[in-house]
Structure formats: structure tokens, C-alpha cells
Amino acid sequence: MAMENWKNTALLVIDMQKDFVTPGSPVCVHGSQSIVPSVIKAVDIARLRGILVVWVVREHDSLGRDVELFRRHMYSGKKTDPLVKGSKGAELVDGLVITGNDYKLVKTRFSAFFGTNLHSILQAAEVKKLVVVGVQTPNCIRQTVFDAVELDYQSVTVIVDATAAGSPEVHVANIVDMKNIGVATPTLQEWCESGA
């Protein structure tokens, strides 16, 4: 698999947590369940290629003090509120596991770069190329990708069938917007077959 071609690459797995994937959760993304197998495969391929896997997750204070203003009404101090640190809903979905040299990054806003040390971690690992999977395309995926482009990462890739939004139309529209700023948008199969 020409691991040398992938040594400066990181896979960002964004918000693949139970509260975002489980039907009935107030923050469930409707298309998210269908991409779980693709995200699992992307992680497996990344590990085979020696790619750094960064798990980008949301974990919030039970009182919602670190949540965007428009979501604070969802928080009442209960462990059952969405994505509360240490809750079942904040866990990764079944089939996804943090192992070995993976890195877990906690964020409280859409972009994985906003108010976090992600850029420093990636620079320390000499990462120049990013591959992004997860949810949700118009929010956390898009904001992270736009920030990565602005930070001059050499290449940014969004795997189109390992990312999802609340509707296919919203997903496609955001993929087109990202493609228009130079982001690569392969399918998982295309990415698996690519050499770099």
C-alpha cells in the first residue's frame, strides 16, 4: 500500500458518537447510521497505511455552559442530556474504538480547529494532508474542512460516502461547496484504491 505515500496524512473521524447516530436522540443526524460501516472501513484502511487517526468528539458540561447558545436549552444538568462528558451518548458508536497511537480530541464547537490544539498536534506529527469522515456535512465537517484549507494543509479530502447530513440534498450541496475550494471528494472505494 506504499505506506511512504501516507506518512504525512491524518484521518479525522468527526462526531461518530452514539448521540449523533442513535435514532431518537435530540441531536441524531438522520443519515449517520448508514455511514457507520464506511467509517469503520476508512479507519481500518488508515491504520493499515500507518495514517494517524484523530478521533474528534464532542463532550459537554452537563449544564451546557460550553455549548453553543442555540443548543443550551437542551441541557438541564442530567447525564442523559446530549453528549455530556462520561455519558453513554458521548461514546463512540459500536464498531469504532480508539487504539494504540490514535489521538482523541475534544471540541465544543463545529470546527475541530476552533479552540483546540488540533493544528499543533498535526504540526508536531508533520501532517500535511487530511482525510475527513463523520458527521455532519454542513456543520462540523464543513467548518473543519474550511479551516484546514485556510491553514494551508497541502491536501484535504472528504470521503463522500463516509460522511453524512440530515438529508442527501444538504450533503451533496455541501460536498459541492467543498469541492469548489479544492477539496478532493472521492468515494471510499476510490480512496481505498488510491496510492496517495
Q: State the residue range of the domain holding 76.
A: 3-193
Task: Give backbone dihedrals phi and psi of 81, rounded to 5 degrees, phi first.
Answer: -65, 155
pLDDT of residue 5: 78
Query: What is the pTM assigned to this prediction?
Result: 0.95
pLDDT of residue 3: 65
Q: What's the length of the chain?
A: 196
In which residue are the cell numbers 456543520 written? Answer: 139
Task: Give backbone dihedrals phi and psi of 65, rounded to 5 degrees, phi first.
Answer: -70, -20
CB atoms within 10 A of CB 172: 13
* 196 residues of the chain, pLDDT tens digit each: 456 779 899 999 999 999 999 999 999 999 899 999 999 999 999 999 999 999 999 999 999 999 999 999 989 888 888 999 999 999 999 999 999 999 999 999 999 999 999 999 999 999 999 999 999 999 999 999 999 999 999 999 999 999 999 999 999 999 999 999 999 999 999 999 987 6
Q: What is the CATH number of the domain that holds 39?
A: 3.40.50.850
pLDDT of residue 158: 98
> Long-range contacts for 100-103 (Cβ within 8 Å, ≥24 apart)?
101/52, 102/52, 102/53, 102/54, 102/55, 103/52, 103/53, 103/54, 103/55
Domain count, the chain: 1
Contact 29, 166 (CB under 8 A): yes
Task: Give backbone dihedrals phi and psi of 46, rounded to 5 degrees, phi first.
Answer: -60, -45
